[in-house]
Amino acid sequence: MPGNKAIAYREPGVVEVVDIDYPTFELRDGPGVNPANVGRKVPHGVILKTVATNICGSDQHMVRGRTTAPPGLILGHEITGEVVEKGSDVEFLDVGDIVSVPFNIACGRCRNCKERRTGICLNVNPERPGSAYGYVDMGGWVGGQAEYVLVPYADFNALRFPDRDQALEKIMDLTMLSDIFPTGFHGCVSAGVEVGSTVYVAGAGPVGLAAAASAHLLGAAVVIVGDLNPDRLAQARSFGCETVDVSAGPVGDQIAQILGEPEVDCSVDAVGFEARGHGADASTEQPAAVLNSLMEVTHAGGSLGIPGLYVTGDPGAATEAGKVGSLSLRLGLGWAKSHTFTTGQCPVMKYHRGLMKAILHDKVEIAKAVNAQAIPLEEAPTGYQAFDEGAAKKFVLNPNGYIRTS
């Protein structure tokens, strides 16, 4: 039986490469595993040899110590892999298939799954609706920043790529299907982006850049991306976005310089709860700043897509209210402008097959948009540090050498 190296969270600011058990078709006890899930049999699962697994901004929240993640938690919810073993109940996948795995873990049987709301499956997390690999309070399913990983309910969850050689050729794009591409796309769809829309995306990290690329794919006339980081803003401009530096003054004033008016049709929050203030307040953390600014710059009757992460427990928050996820929202403004808000995990399976086709038929270059860079698993700690320092890159881990880097 092969070994299994993985990336574990140790303490705020520290991740390390560790040796863990090779997966079996049973969920074992370990850091973050819900006690009610220990011993859960998974005959409906597959074991994947990881082809690509990505560092995500949501992982970074945990690594910064901004959640209640326990030491030793194996990280990673963005998984693409090759089936090397299958459980006795798996019918439609075969050893050798290469698949994309949605970060949402979904049973396919509950009411929400049958209604395509796979981000809030009722059966995989005993604590609350919704689950994910390698994430705090999400049931304890072992993360995929590893050489091998178990995927439950595999016939339902896994998206098989139709051609192995084509998949490996486009793997740097296809690896984005597990999370950030559908998440950014969902932010745009829920914001109402359509042909001719003017769109403001707050945040030029990987999800924000994926949202901007999605807005182009959906036919937006103008896509404006806001951030504090000049390198990330330059990355947004590299594929046709306009940009605003939120530290330079009111977002609406800068949008007016681009559009001739201070409002957009649609807006997307790709920042989440670690938001900073705008203008003179850009150096301070203000978790409601992005949402309040989006209400200001979105036209009356418009919608806000909110794929940015907000949490119920933030031990690093500056206020007691922030520690339980309470924000000082200008809800009266949103009410007065009849805004619609869409929050929560992206239901990846609602979008990933169509986005796969867009990649395979050269309609989008998502890896180029987010500036993806492959690194060995052993360099994950360096990747986390660079990402935390604001690198304008999406780091893709290459645990088993499938990705050609030369």
Contact 94, 86 (CB under 8 A): yes
pLDDT at 337 over 90: yes
Contact 15, 9 (CB under 8 A): yes
Work out the number of other CB atoms within 10 angstroms of the CB of residue 39.
11
The predicted structure's pLDDT at residue 117: 96
Distances 204 to 55, 239, 369, 393 between C-alpha atoms, Å: 16, 12, 11, 10
3-state secondary structure of 301: strand
3-state secondary structure of 404: coil
pLDDT at 94 over 70: yes
Contact 146, 4 (CB under 8 A): yes
pLDDT at 294 over 90: yes
Q: Which of 37-46, 117-126, 311-320 has the lowest mean pLDDT?
A: 311-320
Closest to 388 (Cα-Cα) out of 33, 65, 172: 65
- Assigned CATH class of 5-179+347-397: alpha beta
What is the average per-residue pLDDT within 19-40? Answer: 95
Closest to 305 (Cα-Cα) out of 178, 212, 402, 228: 212
**Owner of token pair 């180029």:** 368
Per DSSP, helices labelled H in 130-237 are: 154-157, 164-169, 171-174, 180-191, 206-217, 230-237
Closest to 183 (Cα-Cα) out of 355, 335, 52: 355
The predicted structure's pLDDT at residue 359: 98
Q: CATH assignment of 181-342, given 3.40.50.720, 3.20.80.10, 3.40.640.10, 3.30.230.10?
A: 3.40.50.720
pLDDT at 91 over 80: yes
Contact 145, 17 (CB under 8 A): no
pLDDT digits (tens, 9 = 90+) for 344-375: 999 999 999 999 999 999 999 999 999 999 99
The percent of residues in the chain predicted with pLDDT above 90, rounded, is 89
The predicted structure's pLDDT at residue 28: 93
Residue 96 pLDDT level (bands cut at 50, 70, 90): very high
* Domain-wise residue ranges, the chain: 5-179+347-397, 181-342
| pTM, entire model | 0.96
What is the average per-residue pLDDT within 57-84? Answer: 94
Closest to 65 (Cα-Cα) out of 133, 131, 138, 14: 14
pLDDT at 313 over 90: no
Task: Establish how many alpha carbons lie within 13 A of residue 145's alpha carbon, considering only the half-sphere containing its beta carbon.
Answer: 31
pLDDT at 121 over 70: yes
Can you point out the beta strands (E) in 262-328? 264-269, 298-305
The 8-class DSSP code of residue 93 comes to -
3-state secondary structure of 297: helix
Higher pLDDT, 3 or 381: 381
The predicted structure's pLDDT at residue 1: 66
pLDDT digits (tens, 9 = 90+) for 224-269: 999 999 999 999 999 999 999 999 999 999 999 999 999 999 999 9
d(CA 348, CA 20): 28
Work out the number of other CB atoms within 10 angstroms of the CB of residue 288.
17
What is the average per-residue pLDDT within 273-289? Answer: 86
Residue 144 pLDDT level (bands cut at 50, 70, 90): very high
Distances 360 to 7, 142, 156 between C-alpha atoms, Å: 30, 30, 21
The predicted structure's pLDDT at residue 283: 81
The predicted structure's pLDDT at residue 186: 98
Give the phi and the psi of residue 284 in degrees, each rounded to 5.
-110, 150
Q: Could you give the dihedral angle defined by the CA atoms of residues 55, 58, 64 and 65, in that order, rounded to the nearest 10 degrees?
A: -130
Q: What angle, rounded to 10 degrees, do the helices at 230-237 and 206-217 form?
A: 20
Residue 406 pLDDT level (bands cut at 50, 70, 90): low
d(CA 157, CA 292): 36
pLDDT at 320 over 90: no
The percent of residues in the chain predicted with pLDDT above 70, rounded, is 100
What is the average per-residue pLDDT within 157-161? Answer: 98
CA angle 192, 157, 166 (to 5 degrees): 85
Closest to 261 (Cα-Cα) out of 206, 299, 306: 299
The predicted structure's pLDDT at residue 78: 98
Q: Which of 19-33, 118-132, 313-327 has the lowest mean pLDDT?
A: 313-327
d(CA 359, CA 77): 21
Q: What is the mean pLDDT of the chain?
A: 95
pLDDT at 281 over 90: no
The predicted structure's pLDDT at residue 404: 87
pLDDT at 75 over 70: yes
Closest to 293 (Cα-Cα) out of 191, 200, 193: 200
The predicted structure's pLDDT at residue 169: 96
Instruction: Report the 3 state secondary structure along 234-261.
Output: HHHHCCCCEEEECCCCCHHHHHHHHHCC
pLDDT at 314 over 90: no
The predicted structure's pLDDT at residue 279: 82
d(CA 241, CA 176): 20
